[in-house]
Amino acid sequence: MSHNQNDSSTATDRSADADPAVITVYSDYVCPFCYLGRTSLDQYQETREDELQIEWHPFDLRSQKRRPDGTMDHSIDDGKDDAYFQQAKQNVRRLAEKYDVDMDLDIATDIDSLPAQIASYYVHEHYDYETWLAFDEAIFAALWEEGRDIGDTELLVKFATDAGVDGEDVRSALDDETLREDVRQRFTDAQRHGITGVPTFAYDGYAARGAVPPEQLRRLVEGR
């Protein structure tokens, strides 16, 4: 009897110590479908008994409009006209209703997410998962729930401080050319891995693209 009890305790301890499952997510903060996709992922995570963490990879949705120095040139034609944005807005509205999300439906065409991605990458690399997640969620909420400019340094510093990050470290990170180049390399790496649009969710060699429903994410992760 005592032998079995020890075995059970050991198994429980091993289970408690096991690393959580991880789903890879490629996204860009200015993408409304990324916000909706994360909402869908949240809804799926709530149905799980075991933790499912996010391995975030940045993606530059507007790379075609970016100058060599990293700034945006909105005069460049990337093929996305008014009809494209109207259709996108209709799709966003449909999914927002489906996922019961109250969000700003205006597509943020004039906001540059690069500063937010640099700051998020810094936090991701230097702090624990929960700290990064709080920072990440604050950025998404600021843009898609409050319509705020997530390219603003002071706003990012505030979010960092609220999440338990030294705000001055984030301010320095935004001026760090080496870090900026690291993030650009992550953009390139995403393209090399075949990522052409966001959000893209990947797990165990399989992927799902778009703001897919929670049940599709469950099939991706659990295989059923």
Predicted TM-score (pTM) of this structure = 0.87
Q: Is residue 8 part of a domain?
A: no
46: exposed, middle or buried (Cβ count in 10 Å: 0-12, 13-18, 19+): exposed
Determine the pLDDT at residue 17.
Answer: 55
Q: Is residue 5 part of a domain?
A: no
Determine the pLDDT at residue 80.
Answer: 77
Q: What is the domain extent for residue 135?
A: 20-222
Q: Is residue 2 part of a domain?
A: no
For residue 73, what pLDDT band results from cuts at 50, 70 and 90? confident
Rounded to the nearest 5°, which phi and psi values hold at 43? -65, -40
Q: Across the strands, what pairs with 53?
A: 22
CATH of the domain at 148: 3.40.30.10
- The answer to whether 151 and 111 are in contact (CB under 8 A) is yes
Q: Is residue 12 part of a domain?
A: no
The total number of structural domains in the chain stands at: 1
Determine the pLDDT at residue 62.
Answer: 83
Q: Is residue 111 part of a domain?
A: yes
Q: Is residue 118 part of a domain?
A: yes
| Mean pLDDT for the stretch of residues 22-30 | 97
Average pLDDT of the residues of the chain: 89
DSSP state for residue 19 in the 8-state scheme: P
C-alpha–C-alpha distance, residues 25 and 108, integer Å: 21
Q: Is residue 54 part of a domain?
A: yes
> DSSP string covering 121-189, please?
HHHHHHS-HHHHHHHHHHHHHHHHTT---TT-HHHHHHHHHHHT--HHHHHHHHT-HHHHHHHHHHHHH
Q: Is residue 11 part of a domain?
A: no
Give the tens place of pLDDT for each residue, 124-142.
Answer: 999 999 999 999 999 999 9
